[in-house]
Amino acid sequence: MHSASRITRSVTRRSISSSLFLRSRNKIPSSAIRSLSSIHPTIVPFTSGDKLRARPRIASFSSAAIENDEPVDINHSTSSQSFEKILIANRGEIARRIIRTCKSLGIKTVAIYSTADSKSLHVQEADEAICVGPAASSDSYLSVPNIMKAIEQTNANAIHPGYGFLSENAEFAEHIEKVGKKFIGPSSSAIIAMGDKITSKHIASSAGVNIIPGFEGFVTSPEHAVKIAHQVGFPVMIKATSGGGGKGMRICYTDEEVKEGFSLSSAEAKKFFNDDRLFIEKYIEKPHHIEIQLLSGRNPETGELDILCFPERECSIQRRNQKVLEESPSTILKPETLKEMVRQVKMLVRDVEYESAGTVEFLVDEKQNFYFLEMNTRLQVEHPVTEMVSDGIDLVHGMIEVAAGKGIPREYMAKLGDQSGMSEEEKEGLSVPHHGYAIEARIYAEDPLRGFLPSTGPLNEYIEPNAGTEGDCTIRIDSGVAPGGIISQYYDPMISKLISHSSTDRNSAIDALKNAIDGYVISGVGNNTSFLTDVLRHDSFVAGDTPTNFIQTHYPEGFHGVALSSEEYAETAAMAVVANMIRSEVLQKPPAPMKVDEFDPFIVCLGGLFGKAYQVQGLEDALKVTSIDGEETHTVQLEEIDIDSRSPIVNVVVNDKKRVLQIEPEDSSGKFSIKYEGAQMDAIVMSPQEYELAKYMNEPTKIDTSNLILSPMPGTLISYSISDDAEVVEGQDICIVEAMKMQNVIRAPRSGRIKHLHSAVGASLMADEIIVEFVKDE
């Protein structure tokens, strides 16, 4: 392997000599592109230094900071110590996030873990770790007795609950208060007041906050739910009174959907919040989901309740009521609307006497009318968006200081600016001004091509994009996994949160996030990175047209992969040729066998041997890419290319665009995988002679599964709705499979008679395992 030396070859094209010298961010000479068939490149392997980027301002949030034990730099003093030891009653990325802030403050940490998480990163990074039970969250992370025992054994004097699990469990907070420990969050009474969605609506209304019309009481049965739905008027939203995260929620347009929604929502609510009470409210169509992050605490000098509101977050891109992308500032919110929302938030906070970080969520319609949705009495998943646009504020630090009785850090309150000369009304509408533009993408272990069903298993390959600042853009990664780690069926399928920030404009933040996602290598489990890229490049998203029905509107039949333009296919073909040649040189083999004439173009098949075929030929200063049928011709300017022979990541500047693609090594047949702009496909680079021979090959035969219902994901078979010999119609409920804390209804793909139920209720299913078999049609 010539990984450490320069390799050159004289290239003759009618007395033209050329060579290709490729190095990080070096431009490709135009002469090098003229004769692709004879390029012999110089290979310069990357060292770790080649991949380094300057760390972001909030450097403590980069995974590498902890792993390398580097000093952290966040905007608060580390000299004062609020607590000696904090137990983190959570797991994964949020546990790691809290550990980083504690470490910067000199506070020791205790991680809790289930038997399934014994080797997790948060366990390794904490000062102490203690097992709180078996894998099932109900017996570990949701077990109040087990966690209280861990608190006693480790002598922690404060507990941070993170988000999810017990973070909004008033009983847990009350237990902590009773034993003289500090719950880093609001009081148990505040959680009770705002944790129940019906009670919180009453409180919000009394405080003068706009609320959504609906039924003010609990729904007791499917029939009762139908009756209430007719009174409120379709469409309606069925919601669990406790919890959040999209669990126990259904949008319903018909009586049948209400009945099904009642059953599924109550079951989910019981399982995840131990509270199956439901209520119904009017569903507002095409709203924007906008929320106000707050931090409140008693001023230790005056005893007054200080309330700090931050720039709004837009969280409208949702799937199944679960947020997918979040950003700040909102693309639609007018300044006067924001000020009135902030005023109402402060009225609600004072009414509840709320102290800690919290979020008040609103729905905003097309006329800027806004309605209270709920208050989250915890740190939100999307809190990094706020931190990135708030000039270095650390919300976890703020929560710790408030819980310690120190109030909101003075330097945070100072971010409101000079308020002299302002009226009280003006002060009430005041929030921290936003600095730049931030967008967060949630990276999930799920298969978007299978209806976003959860995916579990080992992370065979896992490479995070570079965190840090380059130019006007910063990338931040909050993750909880490592290469070789396991995505378990027991917990939420979120792998990480990827956040971009631009100091200049929203489009730059979009572009930076898209490139970071394209450079995120995840194999072994399905993931939603291609879908995220597709949303980020969608014209409506770029234009800021992002109501909560965005996904339903633009993906009515689900996601079927990124549809590249003809120009992007040409770019993919061109980059496949050049990258394949460079990689081939590293392996000391010819880039394409059987080339007999240096003027012949390369042939590239995208999508495998029977996919789209292109010929790629060098020009004076570009690449000419022509579809094999001659109907399309594109000129591709490939200006820069960075390749690390040890990584699938390829950085390019193509047609004046800075882009990232992934190229996996080829297999024995010469086929390799390429991912560009979210579209992943197999590619084969060959000579024209090889392509002519390949035309005589037959396409592989596909296995007929039309008589089978297969499990779309690993999970547990909860129940059947049919039996052997039953006659079913297309769309009829067949069974329920539970995976990743969600119950998924499997429906009949066609009408027919059931021959056999292959799996027993309670069985653990693998992906594509047979559940039901139909009688074969004659």
Active site residues per annotation: 374
Best CA proximity match to 348, nearest among 199, 162, 244: 199
User: How far is Cα 599 from Cα 116, in angstroms, rounded to an integer?
Assistant: 59
Burial annotation 687-707 (CB, 10 A radius, 16+ → b, else e): bbbbbeeeeeeeeeeeeeeee
Residue 180 CB-density burial (10 A; 0-12 exposed, 13-18 middle, 19+ buried) = exposed
Residue 583 CB-density burial (10 A; 0-12 exposed, 13-18 middle, 19+ buried) = buried
User: How far is Cα 197 from Cα 199, in angstroms, rounded to an integer?
Assistant: 6
Residue 234 CB-density burial (10 A; 0-12 exposed, 13-18 middle, 19+ buried) = middle
Instruction: Specify whether the CB–CB gap between 774 and 752 falls below 8 A.
Output: yes
The strand pair at 108-114 and 128-133 is best described as parallel
- Which ranges in 664-731 belong to alpha helices (H)? 688-694
User: How far is Cα 418 from Cα 420, in angstroms, rounded to an integer?
Assistant: 6
Q: At what angle do helices 92-105 and 395-403 cross, to 10 degrees?
A: 70
Q: Which helix (H) or strand (E) holds 344?
A: helix 335-352
User: How far is Cα 431 from Cα 307, in angstroms, rounded to an integer?
Assistant: 9
User: How far is Cα 165 from Cα 158, in angstroms, rounded to an integer?
Assistant: 17
Pair of tokens at residue 2: 């010539």
Instruction: Specify whether the CB–CB gap between 596 and 677 falls below 8 A.
Output: no
Pair of tokens at residue 339: 């000020």
HSE-up (13 A, CA, CB side) for residue 138:
6
Best CA proximity match to 513, nearest among 331, 385, 680: 385
Tell me the residue length of the chain.
Answer: 778
Contacts of 647 (CB under 8 A, 6+ apart): 46, 463, 521
User: How far is Cα 726 from Cα 468, in angstroms, rounded to an integer?
Assistant: 59
The one-character DSSP state at 415 is G
Best CA proximity match to 110, nearest among 94, 97, 99: 99
Pair of tokens at residue 211: 């609320």
Best CA proximity match to 634, nearest among 588, 542, 570, 696: 570
The one-character DSSP state at 148 is H
Helix (H, G, I), strand (E, B) or coil at 488: coil
**Phi-psi domain of 365 (left: phi exceeds 0; alpha: psi -120 through 50; beta: other):** beta
* Residue 40 CB coordination number (10 Å): 16
Place of tokens 């390829």: 650
Helix (H, G, I), strand (E, B) or coil at 761: coil
Contacts of 330 (CB under 8 A, 6+ apart): 288, 290, 312, 313, 314
HSE-up (13 A, CA, CB side) for residue 320:
15
Determine phi and psi for 666, rounding to 5 degrees: -75, 155
User: How far is Cα 97 from Cα 100, in angstroms, rounded to an integer?
Assistant: 5
**Sequence letter at residue 202:** H
Instruction: Specify whether the CB–CB gap between 312 and 437 falls below 8 A.
Output: no
For Cα atoms 206, 381, 363, give the angle at the middle one, nearest 5 degrees. 40
User: How far is Cα 395 from Cα 385, in angstroms, rounded to an integer?
Assistant: 11
